[in-house]
Structure 1
């Protein structure tokens, strides 16, 4: 552990001790110091209703638009630096596919049909697929990260937690904003947004954003940019309030990502042209092509009806769809040793009804939720060394229905009991086809030359139903007007399904699919403010029992005319995850504020059943594996100085984030696994007195740290030309931003 995280942890421990001692003092008086960013001023919707963050018995990191702007956050992967025990990254080989883990629970495999372990919500609309989910940050009010299973209120596939992307409501006054950014690697970003009141009860508005950047590296085989960015995004909405008792919002968003495929870096030298280890980790010799397209869009209609002072009825109707056409070069050489062209398509319709109630001593929400979705696709595994291609295609149709409730009751003026319950029924139909075709070119599934397969490996359609009941219990106590403690028990589950890569010849049971996984979570926490509200903090201790874990692995198998690669999605067993988190804000001086976050995670497998291709039996190898994306320590520390310059407000924010050693996969690999590293950032933001003009300068990864965020592991000289591939986070960048409001 380096000296930065030691300092952060010591500071966190000291602040925790001081805040505990402060509980004995009278914190009911209003503060004379700084008031901004206090935990009892922050409003979140973690329990589907507006509440002060202090009162929510859930571990929540809430980052508002001002904080995100001051730290120069460009997309939601920035959450990883400021959220304890969280992994939020672009998937290996992708620019805009999201991979999220919270407290060691998540899902790395973004193939259609596989469910995420951390749910993503855009204005209460669940985003079922990870493609196109690396959302750029624009026109938002805040982002909330809910840590721990959220099964009772958010349902399936929030087994690790949930990320809520909350967009801004339209202004009641006419306004417009234009922002431009120029930076390293010829970065040129442009944003324009506007809100126009058409009448007293109707407003329309929208935002348009363009993000462009040259690559951090180059495809030395084709000359194309590598790790570039070419994204267009737009959001339009209309808000209608016909009377004091109702409100409607119609919103549409669309994102088009034409960035080149994100090819990887060979960590081990192979043989042949382009098979060496390039000095620049962003360079590649990939030969599969440089065309990539990800298009996502969605429309939603939200209606709120204020029935009386105590009851609000809410309806959320939404439709989303996505199309992806991409390529991944696993070997990263001009030869088609292990090339993967792929297409994905998905669409989903969701309908949710909520009834929120607010009484003197009882508050809560009851609701019903329905999802109808289909995810489909096809991909080829082109094996040039063997002269054939494995073509895989299929779909998963999902219909899900759930009923839920969450009720908070005041047992006394200081003691509160929260009870939540959700019933979910999933019905899934999976269709999987996998076959081998002669010729190391695209199969007919991907538009290749029409030809019959010489060997069909998998061809089935099957249906499964999964039912779950997820309870949650929380007891909270107000130690003072400013300090709240809580203890909770909650559960969550990630739906079962079918392995789209499954080889029924090697693993016949693949046609039966795999079971859901579940988590039982125990948590105690303390949050609030102290020292006359100069310290705002949130802390938690947690213990999770993780059962029936779904783990995806691919291994070499068969002969040159056989499978060549076998895929497994198994319910491997169970693990135990415990840890601690401490985050908050300290107003050191009226002009100096510290933001901090520290996470500790202790995760290990209790059981890991692995299928042995040789014996055809499962073996418990728990002593050989680890949980992926589960660093023991994560930390963040930032200082913000605010003062006056040229009549305007100046904010200077240096920060450092720390991430301990972590493994890319369940099987440790010293070549691919990432050692501990720290990222140093600096931002300077000046705002004119009338708030109409803002200028910002942002430096990211100023020490130019090289760190892996993903990888592929296909060793073996004869079969895969030692294709051990790493994908890296951004290098050092500097950008300048100019924003004008009208």
Structure 2
């Protein structure tokens, strides 16, 4: 239900004790399933190593510590002789026993691939795309799984893919480009998580788990230098303060680099063009794409008794990076551009990495139609700093309490706070047609309670729980849109967006036989979100905007909704080598209110989206567990799918209104393989296909210019694949050398549903490589990493704006990085 009304006038939350890695003992039983025997360590599954798997998450059953970091993880152990353990179904399970489409990667494997932040995870997971947003959405991670995600950084939208750090949900896409700091593992769950994880996620979930404090004293320090004056320093230290009772882990990272994208003064480069110049010398006015990032984490692990474990984590982040690069692709407006100058002269070459952006809104005088309105008149030029700024803090705490041998209570509490800003020169010309400053403030509190256990001699495994989410976002800044023209829209935002979500859930597994399990899940969710608009005069902030935006000042829009989601799964293990499953599940994403109305009649709500997912899959360990092969096939029925409408309305040529456009279907196939044919040789690969069909375009969707039943969904490449290979060569007394190559491919996609060919992002293939030397004691490592080895030009993303501008975000060129790591 939605309504629109007018008004006048510490980090405390949690990483659970479920953060347990395990190496399955050969022949043991885990979660009621017999485990395959392995003839030798050399023939075991090609996956990440971990300690022995407990049958539930609790201190009493926690696996023992695996030893100190005095020895670095060998490159060959990044995909090694054990089984990774995941907690996707609220309890610890082997990945191969989990009847979900899930990709799990440990920190060592990601390091061997040269991954540095969460965006780098996407290459290893089928039907998963993660990219850095640019332009008006700068500072956000655009994460899509099976075609479902969220590209807009505004607080009005719920993420389509849930992002979690140590089991704590991150409620916005702005600020979600997480660094892989002291990472234990990443779990990427594909498909709706309506009955799993902390909050409803319609498309899937990405869950990062940091390393927990452990017994003993250990740590590491790493320094690196690379292209574009890249400097990095990171490290971690683990201390056991009270044996088996109190442990602490401190980790941190600092990164800086110059930008790989240039800004130039067009008039300086072209003195006879008629374009005024304000630069001299080499005509360069700035850079984009550079980094200045620092983060730190403090983790405390307390075990006061055999049946209680407490984990406290505090994280702080500081980011003062340059904005994400934006390059002009096309411009159709001539507004504010002097006669005789074709705006297309500001479009760079197809493979150039530069723009003529100034980040300046020029001085102007309002047209006569605004005469007599308070605040109208002559206004000075405004210059923005082209930076992306973020200050974030999170405190989380988890308590795991074994009430009995078969009953565990888990509490996860978290508080998050961040402030941030991002500047955008949307037109990318010297004339300041549209310049935007976006400022974010956000506070979030979450609480999750879970009670899990077993009944009837482990015939039933169950989890019941409740989840509470509350946030308050503030969106501020200023939009200088077509200044000085009759249809100008000038305003300063002062928006408040409170949100609340409550849910209860239950998850039950019936182990009917040692091989057959029936799984069910149910969740009830109740959501509310308000959006209160402030539309003020950026030159006189005590006055409402004198343009049409001023009519929106004081308006509040509201969304209220609820959903019942469920999951039914039938899992069968045909043999020690093969497990299959069939599943039906639902997903839901709450609605909201259009955050970017240019006129009053665009301040309208939008409804929730819903998804029904049908899936079959298998997980196999073949040829004496030399080959691991996992696959899935799915059909997703998507109702009331949300798209952005930029078509002019009767009252405004500017429009950016989200509408529930209709119904659609995604269908796809996914395959993942890990191979260890001989000692030291490791191969990992994945591939996926994603199809999309519009089933119905509703009345609201039909108003989108260019939409048709033949169009493709945004951010949904049809084909995606990767192949990685590494081989550890052991020398005689001189350590080991490990070369690794990774090749990834994704086909083309469109960033918007109108499929405007000017904004199409072409498909591309990338090659990355890494060469690692490690000494015999395994405590010293030197690595050379080269990304984009073939120096391929490609765009990360693109975007079409309502003022008639199309821009793109170019990816970095070839980069190299030399690192040295010492463990102790």
Same fold (TM over 0.5): yes
* TM-aligned CA deviation for residue 503 of structure 1: 4.4
In structure 2, what is the equivalent of residue 637 of structure 1? 723
In structure 2, what is the equivalent of residue 398 of structure 1? 499
* TM-aligned CA deviation for residue 382 of structure 1: 1.2
Q: Does 1:182 align with 2:245?
A: no
Q: Does 1:538 align with 2:655?
A: no
Deviations 1:95-150 (A, max 9, x none): 64111100001111111221110000001100001121101112010011000001
Q: Does 1:422 align with 2:466?
A: no
* TM-aligned CA deviation for residue 450 of structure 1: 5.9
Deviations 1:648-692 (A, max 9, x none): 233221110010121111111222212221001111122222221
Deviations 1:219-273 (A, max 9, x none): 2246222111111111112111111111111111111110112241011367479
- Aligned counterpart in structure 2 of residue 130 of structure 1, from 149, 166, 173: 173
In structure 2, what is the equivalent of residue 552 of structure 1? 644
Deviations 1:336-359 (A, max 9, x none): 111111111111000111112145
Deviations 1:3-51 (A, max 9, x none): xxxxxxxxxxxxxxxxxxxxxxx99441433436348711011112111
* TM-aligned CA deviation for residue 452 of structure 1: 5.0
1:703 partner SS: coil
CA distance in 2, matches of 1:356, 1:186: 51
- Aligned counterpart in structure 1 of residue 438 of structure 2, from 342, 354, 359: 342
CA distance in 2, matches of 1:659, 1:91: 17
Gap regions ≥5 residues in structure 1: 1-25
1:153 partner SS: coil
- Aligned counterpart in structure 2 of residue 70 of structure 1, from 106, 112, 134: 112
Q: Does 1:84 align with 2:126?
A: yes
In structure 2, what is the equivalent of residue 698 of structure 1? 785
5 Å-filtered alignment, 1:444-459, equals 444=540, 452-455=545-548, 456-458=550-552, 459=554
5 Å-filtered alignment, 1:82-231, equals 82-93=124-135, 96-154=139-197, 156-200=199-243, 201-221=245-265, 223-231=285-293
Q: Does 1:514 align with 2:606?
A: yes
CA distance in 1, matches of 2:422, 2:706: 37
CA distance in 2, matches of 1:494, 1:694: 45
Q: Is the 8 A contact 1:38 1:533 kept in 2?
A: no
2:634 partner SS: strand
* TM-aligned CA deviation for residue 361 of structure 1: 2.1
In structure 1, what is the equivalent of residue 295 of structure 2? 233
In structure 2, what is the equivalent of residue 368 of structure 1? 466
1:77 partner SS: helix
In structure 1, what is the equivalent of residue 423 of structure 2? 327
* TM-aligned CA deviation for residue 606 of structure 1: 1.5
CA distance in 1, matches of 2:435, 2:648: 15
CA distance in 1, matches of 2:643, 2:477: 20
CA distance in 2, matches of 1:555, 1:206: 51
> Which stretch has the larger CA shift, 109-118 or 221-230?
221-230
In structure 1, what is the equivalent of residue 310 of structure 2? 248
2:777 partner SS: coil
Q: Does 1:412 align with 2:541?
A: no
Q: How has the CA–CA distance of structure 1 residues 547 and 156 changed in structure 2, closer, same or farther, with 3 Å as cutoff?
A: farther
In structure 1, what is the equivalent of residue 812 of structure 2? 730
- Aligned counterpart in structure 2 of residue 529 of structure 1, from 610, 621, 634: 621
Q: How has the CA–CA distance of structure 1 residues 540 and 273 changed in structure 2, closer, same or farther, with 3 Å as cutoff?
A: closer
In structure 2, what is the equivalent of residue 496 of structure 1? 591
1:267 partner SS: strand
In structure 1, what is the equivalent of residue 768 of structure 2? 681
In structure 2, what is the equivalent of residue 651 of structure 1? 738
2:119 partner SS: helix
CA distance in 2, matches of 1:724, 1:337: 13
> Which stretch has the larger CA shift, 692-701 or 498-507?
498-507
In structure 1, what is the equivalent of residue 323 of structure 2? 261
Q: How has the CA–CA distance of structure 1 residues 243 and 503 changed in structure 2, closer, same or farther, with 3 Å as cutoff?
A: same
Q: How has the CA–CA distance of structure 1 residues 588 and 95 changed in structure 2, closer, same or farther, with 3 Å as cutoff?
A: farther
> Which stretch has the larger CA shift, 225-234 or 263-272?
263-272
In structure 2, what is the equivalent of residue 278 of structure 1? 348
Gap regions ≥5 residues in structure 2: 1-33, 49-81, 266-283, 333-340, 360-383
Q: Is the 8 A contact 2:401 2:408 kept in 1?
A: yes
Q: How has the CA–CA distance of structure 1 residues 294 and 272 changed in structure 2, closer, same or farther, with 3 Å as cutoff?
A: farther
In structure 2, what is the equivalent of residue 296 of structure 1? 392
- Aligned counterpart in structure 2 of residue 668 of structure 1, from 746, 755, 760: 755
2:592 partner SS: coil
* TM-aligned CA deviation for residue 549 of structure 1: 0.9
2:109 partner SS: helix
Give the greater-gyration-radius structure (CA): 2
CA distance in 2, matches of 1:623, 1:107: 21
Q: Is the 8 A contact 2:626 2:677 kept in 1?
A: yes
> Which stretch has the larger CA shift, 383-392 or 207-216?
383-392
In structure 1, what is the equivalent of residue 71 of structure 2? none
1:671 partner SS: helix
Q: Is the 8 A contact 1:390 1:443 kept in 2?
A: no
CA distance in 1, matches of 2:788, 2:478: 36
CA distance in 2, matches of 1:506, 1:623: 28
**TM-score scaled by structure 1?**
0.89
Q: How has the CA–CA distance of structure 1 residues 597 and 608 changed in structure 2, closer, same or farther, with 3 Å as cutoff?
A: same
In structure 1, what is the equivalent of residue 578 of structure 2? 483
- Aligned counterpart in structure 2 of residue 432 of structure 1, from 533, 541, 545: 533
Q: Is the 8 A contact 1:607 1:622 kept in 2?
A: no
- Aligned counterpart in structure 2 of residue 30 of structure 1, from 38, 42, 54: 38
Deviations 1:465-523 (A, max 9, x none): 2111110010000011121100000011111111111345444xx44x11110110000
CA distance in 2, matches of 1:624, 1:457: 38
Deviations 1:130-187 (A, max 9, x none): 1211011120100110000010113655111000010001121111211011111111
* TM-aligned CA deviation for residue 434 of structure 1: 4.3
> Which stretch has the larger CA shift, 152-161 or 324-333?
152-161
Q: How has the CA–CA distance of structure 1 residues 382 and 50 changed in structure 2, closer, same or farther, with 3 Å as cutoff?
A: same
Q: Is the 8 A contact 2:707 2:754 kept in 1?
A: no
Q: Is the 8 A contact 1:295 1:322 kept in 2?
A: yes
1:258 partner SS: strand
* TM-aligned CA deviation for residue 618 of structure 1: 8.4
Q: Is the 8 A contact 2:328 2:428 kept in 1?
A: yes
* TM-aligned CA deviation for residue 608 of structure 1: 2.8
CA distance in 2, matches of 1:575, 1:612: 12
CA RMSD of aligned residues (A): 2.4
Q: How has the CA–CA distance of structure 1 residues 534 and 454 changed in structure 2, closer, same or farther, with 3 Å as cutoff?
A: closer
Q: Is the 8 A contact 1:196 1:205 kept in 2?
A: yes
Q: How has the CA–CA distance of structure 1 residues 95 and 724 changed in structure 2, closer, same or farther, with 3 Å as cutoff?
A: closer
Q: How has the CA–CA distance of structure 1 residues 317 and 361 changed in structure 2, closer, same or farther, with 3 Å as cutoff?
A: same
CA distance in 1, matches of 2:641, 2:344: 38
**TM-score scaled by structure 2?**
0.81
Q: Is the 8 A contact 2:181 2:252 kept in 1?
A: no
Q: Is the 8 A contact 2:263 2:286 kept in 1?
A: yes
In structure 2, what is the equivalent of residue 18 of structure 1? none
Q: When the two structures are aligned, how many residues end up with a matched partner?
A: 695
